[in-house]
Every structure is written in structure tokens, then in C-alpha cells.
């Protein structure tokens, strides 16, 4: 939703990548990538400086992707779920936004799920149970939609999110 929107926000939740196990793996990996890049560029590398140009280009690409963009994605990235008067917005910043009209939702319930078993992990996923947008934990809200696969929105406040969606759905029917 934009600041210009007159729609009333009934619920909003923002989740960030704060899991210790994620950062304990990411930080050393990024450190190694930075070390390799700086060692090569500053000529204190154990690898010969006369490496072919393609290897330096490859190292630069790996550095930008794994040493800069990946940690930046986890630092600024977040999952935002917003329930408005007539829609649910799921925004996976900075990658994806999905808007679901309330009249497209057939069922909504808070659930406990297996992120790895049901969807193959966290993130924007498609598994045998449908789509999932999740960042952490094993709680969420499962939406059965009129068209398309079911959608799971990961939430640390799953009951509140489901209650908000169901409340605006009931209000729209009256």
C-alpha cells in the first residue's frame, strides 16, 4: 500500500532474517570471498598474480554476488504482510510483491508447517503444498484461493494474521 492509499490497515507484520544459524554461515563465507578478492587485487594472494584475465573476472563476479549482493539482500530484505479492507499484500522486499483480493480467498487458517519438508526451506518457495513466502519459524497462515495453488504466509503472529484476514472477510460479506 502507498501513503496515498485511503485503505485502513487492519494488520501489519514485518519479519527479518535474524536467525543465528543463517548469519553464522553467511559471515564466514562472505569473509572468505572478501579475503580472496582483496588478496588477489592487492597482490598478497597465495595465487599467482599472473592468473588469466578470465579468472580475475570470475573472482570479481563471485565477489559482487556472494560478497556484496547476498549479504545486502539478507540485511535489507524482509517479509511484510499487510491486511487491508479489501486485500492482503505480501511483500518480499526487495524482490517480490503479491496482492490477493479478499474475495479470492476461500479459506484462511493459522497452521504449523515444516519449512523444509513442505516447501524446501525459507524464502519464496513452491512445494507440493503450494506457494510459501516465509523468513523464519514454522508458523504461518495458509490461504486457499479461488484460482491457483494455496499460499502460505510465514508469520510469527499467525493467529493474529488469520484473525485479521477472517475479520475483514466477514465484514465484506455483511
How far lies 144's CA from each of 149, 152, 174, in Å? 8, 9, 21
Contact 16, 78 (CB under 8 A): yes
Identify the pLDDT of residue 21. 64
- Looking at the domain assignment, is residue 4 inside a domain? no
> What value does the mean pLDDT take over residues 45-53?
58
Beta bridge partners of 125: 132
CA gap 52, 2 in Å, rounded: 50
In sequence order, which residues have a C-beta less than 8 Å from that of residue 109 and are 6 or more positions away?
141, 142, 162
Asked if residue 2 belongs to a domain, the reply is no
Global confidence as pTM: 0.70
Same domain, 71 and 98: no
Cell 553464522 identifies what position?
A: 24
pLDDT of residue 54: 67
Tell whether 64 and 101 lie within a shared domain. no
pLDDT, tens digit, 9 for 90 and up, residues 16-47: 766 666 667 777 887 888 787 777 777 655 55
- Asked if residue 107 and residue 61 are part of one domain, the reply reads no
**Which runs of consecutive H residues, i.e. helices, occur in 12-114?**
20-41, 53-62, 70-76
Q: Could you give the CA distance from residue 174 to residue 171 in angstroms, rounded to a whole number? A: 5
pLDDT for 134: 93
Domain assignment present for residue 108? The answer is yes
Please check whether residues 68 and 146 belong to one and the same domain.
no
Number of domains in the chain: 2
Query: CB-based burial of residue 140 (10 Å sphere; 0-12 exposed, 13-18 middle, 19+ buried)?
Result: buried
Whether 43 and 66 share a structural domain? yes
Is 3 a residue whose pLDDT tops 50? no
Which residue range is the domain that position 25 belongs to? 17-76
Asked whether 12 and 82 are in contact (CB, 8 A), the reply is yes
Amino acid at each position: 500500500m502507498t501513503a496515498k492509499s485511503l485503505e485502513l490497515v487492519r494488520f501489519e507484520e514485518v519479519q527479518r532474517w535474524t536467525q543465528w544459524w543463517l548469519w553464522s554461515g553467511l559471515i564466514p563465507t562472505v569473509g572468505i570471498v572478501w579475503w580472496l578478492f582483496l588478496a588477489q587485487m592487492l597482490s598478497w594472494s597465495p595465487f599467482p598474480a599472473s592468473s588469466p584475465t578470465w579468472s580475475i573476472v570470475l573472482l570479481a563476479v563471485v565477489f559482487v554476488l556472494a560478497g556484496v549482493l547476498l549479504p545486502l539482500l539478507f540485511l535489507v530484505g524482509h517479509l511484510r504482510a499487510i491486511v487491508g479492507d479489501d486485500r492482503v499484500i505480501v511483500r518480499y522486499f526487495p524482490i517480490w510483491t503479491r496482492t490477493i483480493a479478499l474475495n479470492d480467498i476461500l479459506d484462511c487458517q493459522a497452521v504449523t508447517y515444516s519449512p523444509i519438508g513442505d516447501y524446501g526451506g525459507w524464502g519464496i518457495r513452491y512445494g507440493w503444498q503450494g506457494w510459501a513466502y516465509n523468513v523464519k519459524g514454522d508458523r504461518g497462515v495458509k490461504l486457499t484461493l479461488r484460482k491457483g495453488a494455496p499460499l502460505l504466509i510465514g508469520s510469527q503472529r499467525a493467529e493474529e494474521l488469520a484473525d485479521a484476514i477472517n475479520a475483514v472477510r466477514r465484514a465484506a460479506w455483511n
